Amino acid sequence: MAGEKAVRVEVRDSGAGINEADMGKIFQTFYTTKPSGMGIGLSVSRSIIESHHGRIWAEPNDGPGATFAFAIPCAVERTV
């Protein structure tokens, strides 16, 4: 998406954060770190965002918590 006009949304929290070992797995279906989690929320979010030609990612904060972000292009050229 480099060079494209896009909408970017970031959500930053101050919770427990994400372990380095979990970072590569958090968007996988049924992967959860919560005792009562189902592990589908981030996977579904990724599917929706990617179906709109966007991308989603997560980063640990310098302090507590993590930042989740996604970007989707403002417009997609359609070919008929």
Phi-psi group of 65: left, alpha or beta (phi > 0 → left; psi -120 to 50 → alpha; rest → beta): left
The pLDDT of residue 31 is 87
So what's the architecture of 6-73 in CATH?
2-Layer Sandwich (3.30)
pLDDT score, position 23: 86
Of all residues in the chain, the percent with pLDDT exceeding 70 is 94
The domain ranges of the chain are 6-73
Look at residue 4 and tell me whether its pLDDT is greater than 80.
Answer: no
- For residue range 26-53, what is the model confidence (pLDDT) as tens digits? 999 998 888 888 989 999 999 999 999 9
